[in-house]
Amino acid sequence: MAVPGAAAVPLLLLGAVTAAAGCGYQSCPATRPDLLNVHLVPHTHDDVGWLKTVEQYFYGVRNEVQHAGVQYILDSVVAQLVADPSRRFIYAEVAFLARWWRQQDEAMRRTVRQLVEQGRLEFVGGGWCMSDEAAAHYSPAIEQLALGRRFLRREFGACGTPRVAWQIDPFGHSRQLAAIFAQMGYDGLFVGRVDHQDKATREELREMELLWRASGNLPPPAADLFTGILPNVYNPPSGFCWDQLCSDPPVVDEDSEENNVDSIVSSFLQIAASQAERYRTNHIIMTMGSDFHYENANLWFKNMDKLIAHVNARQANGSRVHVLYSTPSCYLWELYQANLSWSLKTDDFFPYADGPHQFWTGYFTSRPAFKRYERLSNNFLQICSQLEALAGPAAREGPYGPGNSSVLREAVAVAQHHDAVTGTEKQHVADDYARQLAVGWESCQLLVANALASLSGSKENFIFCNALNISVCPLTEAAGRFTVILYNPLGRRVSWPIRLPVNGTSYAVTDPEGQSVPSEVIPISNFTHRLRGDGGSATRELLFQASVPPLGFSTFAVSRLSRGDPRAHPARAPALSQPREIQNEHVRVLFDPLTGHLKEIQNLDKSISLPVFQSFYWYNASVGNDESSQASGAYIFRPNSSEPIPVSGSKRVSAHLVKNALVQEVHQNFSSWCSQVVRLHAGQPYVELEWTVGPIPVADGWGKEIISRFETTLQTNARFYTDSNGRQILERRRDYRPTWNLSQTEPVAGNYYPVNSRIFIKDKKFQLTVLTDRSQGGSSIFDGSLELMVHRRLLYDDNRGVGEPLVELGASKQGLVVRGRHLVLLDTVESAADQHRPLAQELFMAPYVVLAPGGGPSYRRGQPGLRQFSALRHELPPNVHLLTLTPWDAVETRTDAGTLLLRLEHQFERGESANGSQPVTVDLLNLFSAFTVTSVQEMSLGADLPLGDVSRLVWSPDTGPAKPRPGPRLDPSQVTLQPMEIRTFLATVQYQVAGTGPRGP
């Protein structure tokens, strides 16, 4: 669809080009070295979903909820840029831009490309969305940035590549994401929200602009990122908002009694002078726009044109202020030219508070079911992408229909948005994010089925049971025989517990070689019965341990045994006595026989033990009080007391034991809405806590925030440790911030931090680590303790714009029930990382079960069936993780060669493990068996630029300059990874069988 009038636009543009030649820094407007230069940056902040869904925002539907229509914003801005060559505009959200681009005819596309090539339309950020920084895991955060950057590179060439990261709305900023921006080649980052105390201190010290050293592992300046804090979050200065959504007076400069030029110019000069006092150079930046502004861009540009003319006219009378249209990169370039050294920051910007009782730490946990679904969806996307790469074109065009990974890729990218995975959107928008993911799963399931058929040589009726977490799967519940295919996306062999809903009492399981695999059948727990309702009919669960090779699959045959079969086990009833302990070869867990609570964990391999008490509590959500009217809500956590209330009304929790050769479990019931299974699988060196919480009762009129708390005897000295986006570990200190003197006003909420994958406490000898299966808020409120918030249900809105309380009713409409897992590790401080690093990867890149009735026909006549497959010739070293394996040219797929995107990462930090933290070398040419690698090119982290083409501005910290080091010459047979390094490659590969992918090792 073409925009009306588009055909006339290019003629106007061609006659009006007087802007500086080229894009990038050379296209920047002239400034005045002797004056204060005010860079006006016209922008719109277009949330990829928040109060309306992505589509509602794009098309301008449901304007009664919020007046916003992104398609009209882009139409209007382009027309206004064409009208005057001095005007500039920046745009960030590629999810909207890509959709708008599809609507445009070739004439309009040419016009927009010209604007980009002149540097007048500049892309900033450049991700599919502006991602969250607290709840987003580094893997999908990298993917969504790469997805957006690839679109910009493809459609606009080098001029479309963003130089500046633009994180103006996320609620706090993470060290790992800053490191990612640096490694993608960004020259700087601009942020809008920093803690009000931090900002006040920085304004006083004129440290609103700084150099962020975002990694202690990569040699500087590899992860150094210049960071600017904007003066007014991302809004225009007060009195200068000229959008149709604003009510500030326009500039009236004609002969009229409404003429207001003097007052507007005087007010502007005052604001500029005041802002200049808080920044270091004779350049300041003003963001001219806000949420969904510029639907009628003429209003903004007409008034800014007048403002610029009248302010600059005052120079004739001695004014020292020069105003100009600019962009963040042109502003950044002027700061770089100033040749100053900048204060160095090494921590992060969490937690964020915009007032003394307003800590934005609730969203670390808000919408916990969606947070888990987002994490699972990225897990499945990686599996889908890997299988697409391993099977080649056969995955996309196969017997099950056309497979497509891009639908899920875009849905997972959208889910990283700072009002998506955060849980800070309206309920109907959260439902829509989940719907987008579900549609993506369906198209990826077709692709997975095609790929598995091609690789295994067997066209099975593949079945995907998406509700195994509540023991629902019609095939396994009814069938006497079935096949279990387990795919492992990790680069090392994994032993994985399989748990399937069944109705038989005994089963025979055989592995890919036909050998018998030990199995057990146990009753389904009451917790699961209650959770699933009438969703499934299984009364029992079949358990067995499945071994699966790296980057491959194993196929297991399962058959139900008749009662008289000599292999059948007699069914055992669970022991109902108060259990005292469970143990396997690595771990023993002791329980208090009087209360039923966990009381001690022992690591049998190291002969160490630690008293650990664990229970569930709830913080009473504040509704506001005399100190502040602030209520707890989707964004903000504010308990009305620092003391949480135990979930269990009595000191004793009822508990019973399930024990067999494969698993030992203690089932604890804390209340009618809170239960937990403490589980030890055979061979597993950690304790698994599977918690089920909800519906949270609110009939008493109180919102509740539920935590799982661990109390130990460790002397922790107010310190605890949390991860940054699932990667680097940061030390946290209670009631303390590294860069300013904190005045603590919320002793609980002000000490909460995002926990993406793990939190731990330690003393000089021992470390207790808890791994999470989704993002949660966590803390150590008193020494020796740590806690994680698992669920929250609130009755009041917290007045940050979403306009509804976080009450999530769930499928039953009675309140959301959430189930999740915490994995608990006790180890020595020296060895802890050797356990938690690979285990965390196993949680976010978990093996995936596909089922089939079995007995399907051959995929290709004469092709033997393959019951086990690995795409690797050998396992990756334990400190290397295969982060990405995905086709790069999925559109051009008609050949037997293809290009694959490959990311390998070192998953340890410096100094955290004697062996794990050493550099490690991998031979790329002999790594894969599924295809032959014929050539390799090293790319930037975003994969849109060859690594050799990345050149970044080098900034000087006040601690002394760091010189960039040239990277090693690429030898694909010897790729060395240093601690925390991610290396990105495009590999040209030849598949073994033309156009069909491999047949196995």
Tell me which DSSP letter residue 353 carries: B
Please tell me which residue in 46, 47, 169, 773 is annotated as part of the active site: 169
User: Nearest-5° angle of CA 879, CA 139, CA 788?
Assistant: 90
Which two three-digit tokens encode residue 77? 């801005």
Q: Residue 702 — φ and ψ, nearest 5°?
A: -110, 130
Distance of CA 923 to the CA centre of its chain: 30
- Taking the C-alpha atoms of residue 669 and residue 648, their distance in angstroms, rounded to an integer, is 8
Q: Contact 58/82 with Cβ under 8 angstroms?
A: no
Q: Write down the pLDDT at residue 575.
A: 55
- Taking the C-alpha atoms of residue 425 and residue 159, their distance in angstroms, rounded to an integer, is 34
Q: Which of 747, 78, 811 is nearest to 356 (CA)?
A: 747
What sections of 321-467 are H helices per DSSP? Answer: 328-337, 368-391, 406-415, 427-456
- Beta carbons within 8 Å of 530's beta carbon, 6+ residues apart: none
Q: Residues, the chain, total?
A: 1001
Question: Is 169 among the catalytic positions?
Answer: yes
Give the count of alpha carbons within 13 A of 55, CB side only. Answer: 6
- Taking the C-alpha atoms of residue 746 and residue 273, their distance in angstroms, rounded to an integer, is 35
Tell me which DSSP letter residue 123 carries: E
Rg (CA), the chain: 29
Cα dihedral 975→978→982→988 (10° resolution): 0
Q: Contact 362/798 with Cβ under 8 angstroms?
A: yes
Q: Write down the pLDDT at residue 996.
A: 43
Q: Contact 991/1000 with Cβ under 8 angstroms?
A: no
Is the dihedral angle over the CA atoms 490, 495, 497, 500 positive or is it negative?
positive
Residues of 39-66 as b/e, b for ≥16 C-beta within 10 angstroms? Answer: bbbbbbbbbbbbbbbbebbbbbebeebb
- Taking the C-alpha atoms of residue 137 and residue 72, their distance in angstroms, rounded to an integer, is 33
With helix as H, strand as E and coil as C, how does 970-988 read?
A: CCCCCEEECCCCEEEEEEE
3-state secondary structure of 180: helix
Amino acid sitting at position 787:
E
pTM over 0.85: yes
- Beta carbons within 8 Å of 744's beta carbon, 6+ residues apart: 735, 750, 751
- Beta carbons within 8 Å of 83's beta carbon, 6+ residues apart: 12, 16, 301
- pLDDT mean values, one per 10 residues, the chain (1001 residues): 38 38 91 98 98 98 97 98 98 98 98 98 98 98 98 97 98 98 98 98 98 97 97 98 98 96 98 98 98 98 98 97 98 98 98 98 98 98 97 92 95 98 98 98 97 95 93 94 98 97 96 97 89 86 97 98 79 65 97 95 98 98 96 98 94 91 96 97 97 96 98 98 98 98 97 98 98 98 98 98 96 94 98 97 97 91 89 97 90 60 98 97 96 96 94 94 83 96 96 50 38
- Taking the C-alpha atoms of residue 881 and residue 492, their distance in angstroms, rounded to an integer, is 9
What sections of 136-260 are H helices per DSSP? Answer: 138-156, 175-183, 196-205
Q: Contact 171/455 with Cβ under 8 angstroms?
A: no
Give the count of alpha carbons within 13 A of 112, CB side only. Answer: 27
- Taking the C-alpha atoms of residue 170 and residue 421, their distance in angstroms, rounded to an integer, is 12
Amino acid sitting at position 483:
T
Q: Write down the pLDDT at residue 11.
A: 35
Q: Give rounded-to-5 percent helix, strand, coil for the chain.
A: 25, 30, 45
Q: Write down the pLDDT at residue 894.
A: 41
Q: Residue 721 — φ and ψ, nearest 5°?
A: -135, 135
DSSP bridge partners of 645: 618
- Beta carbons within 8 Å of 451's beta carbon, 6+ residues apart: 387, 388, 390, 391, 394, 395, 398, 403, 997
Tell me which DSSP letter residue 621 carries: B
- Taking the C-alpha atoms of residue 570 and residue 521, their distance in angstroms, rounded to an integer, is 10
- Taking the C-alpha atoms of residue 536 and residue 900, their distance in angstroms, rounded to an integer, is 41
633: left (phi over 0), alpha (psi -120 to 50) or beta: beta
- Beta carbons within 8 Å of 579's beta carbon, 6+ residues apart: 591, 596, 655, 656, 657, 666
